[in-house]
Amino acid sequence: MLLLLLLLLPSADGQTRRVTGEKKADSCECAVDPDLWSFPAGKYEAVLQKVQSCEVSLNSLQEQVNLSSQRLPDIQALVNNLTARLEPHQYLNNLGLYSSLPLRELVDELSQLETNVDAIHSQLNNAQTQKLSREVRKLRTDVDRMERSDAFNMKTVKEKLRYLKNSAESCKTIPTDFRGEDRHCLKGLITSISDPVMTQTSSYGKSYISGSWGQQAQMDSEGQADSYWIQPLVNSHIWGNTLRVYQTNEDFMASANHKDFTFAPSHTHANSIEGPSAVLYGEALYYHCYKSPDVCRYDLKTNAVKRVTLPGTGVGFSNKFPYCYYDCRANSDVDVEADERGLWAIYATVGNHGNIVLSRLLWDSETETLNVTQTWETTLFKKAVSNAFMVCGVMYATRYVDEYREEVFYAFDTATGKHDDSLALPMEKIAKGVASLSYNPVNKQIYMYNDAYLLAYKANF
């Protein structure tokens, strides 16, 4: 009986062989040719060379690993350093403030700007509007080229668009240099700020560390021209619903003969105030409305409250973009101010990446509506500022120096759209925190609510 025995030994060509065997008794005998299983010397040499090559590669790789291990602590230290430096700004990424701006949105903004500039130019038709029209046409050409080439620098275009939008807002103001209406405004920026010329503690007590105060700010006001006022935030240093008015400076200094107004039935009512942001202008109090992107106007005669929503994408409120720098002042997102040009709102938006936005406010007595007439976007991050105020259409921003000093370090001129970050105007204070700063165009004084201390300074031009 013949059997096929499959030997699982490779031959010289690497293939298995079938060998015919013959069964004899209890065994199987096969005729095997030993040459079929000769030692594969050629393959052995090839494998040996590969092994030697692998050893060389392994040694080289080991050297690289050793070198990387030596450098790893330095790399880790560098990563930790970068992480620590970026950590304070991580919330911006979480809020989506660094998200890319679609080109389509830019094109839409540019189209709206073209419409506005055409309207302004047709109305004024002067050298300034002609120059602005040329710049807008050039930007349109650049953006069209970007769309065709599919290559563009969004940051550069966005910055140019912001500049042109600010220029268009400035062109709307008639006369061109509105600061000419007041002689001291023609002198330029504030040159110095005096030591406090008035120091008083709040009539509500030192426990009320947040609020605002000052003298009536409308230059041609009747009946309220010499009145002083104070608006404390009596609920968690964030909200309030009352206003105290003194008819004279003497009454204010003596904390006597005041009249209290209640402009909302509770601290959580829609008409209550949020944050230290109020200003008494004429016979109305203007302030930031409770948990909203609105500015409210409370009429002291009729007790009526009117409001307007501030323009911009993602207007900050409820402590989204408060004044900070040293220590954030809770819910100081929207700051209402007054100067020679009228009323202003200082705030920040997501659309402007948390940077300060300025809107000019106007009360229309005929229609009894509060309106926003102009808006400028700055590149100053609001949470890097301790406070701000308006003078002659110029926004001044302050920063914390130490417990007893603030410093005016920045100015943005709405007449030109230009800024100056080289200022260094010191302001002395009594306590660490600054709840509010406001300028009064009637007497050219700056009022500070300094953790329940009421300070007044003289602005020098």
User: Two tokens at 256?
Assistant: 């006597």
- Determine the pLDDT at residue 106: 67
Please state, in angstroms and rounded to a whole number, the distance separating the CA atoms of residues 89 and 219: 42
Domain assignments of the chain as residue spans, ordered by start: 2-34, 46-85, 103-172, 180-460
Coil, strand or helix at 428? strand
- The pLDDT assigned to 354 comes to 93
Q: Three-state SS string across 231-261, please?
A: EECCECCCEECEEEEECCHHHHHHCCCEEEE
> Look-up: residue for tokens 């300070």?
455
Distance CA 100, CA 139 (A): 20
Contacts of 381 (CB under 8 A, 6+ apart): 348, 353, 354, 355, 356
CATH fold label, 180-460: Neuraminidase (2.120.10)
Q: Give the residue among 448, 378, 459 at the shortest CA–CA distance from 413.
A: 378
Q: How many whole angstroms separate alpha carbon 242 and alpha carbon 247?
A: 17
CA 412 to chain centre: 16
Q: Taking the model in full, what pTM does it have?
A: 0.68
Residuewise pLDDT in 10s, the chain (461 residues)? 444 444 444 555 555 666 667 777 777 777 666 665 566 666 777 777 888 788 888 888 888 778 777 777 777 777 777 777 767 666 555 554 444 445 566 677 777 777 777 777 677 777 777 777 777 777 777 777 665 655 455 566 667 666 666 766 666 654 444 444 567 888 889 999 999 998 888 888 888 999 999 999 987 766 567 899 999 999 999 999 999 999 998 999 988 899 999 999 999 999 999 999 899 999 999 999 999 999 999 999 999 999 999 999 999 999 999 999 878 899 999 999 999 999 999 999 999 999 999 999 999 999 999 999 999 999 999 999 999 999 999 999 999 999 999 999 999 999 888 899 889 999 999 999 999 999 999 999 999 999 999 999 999 98
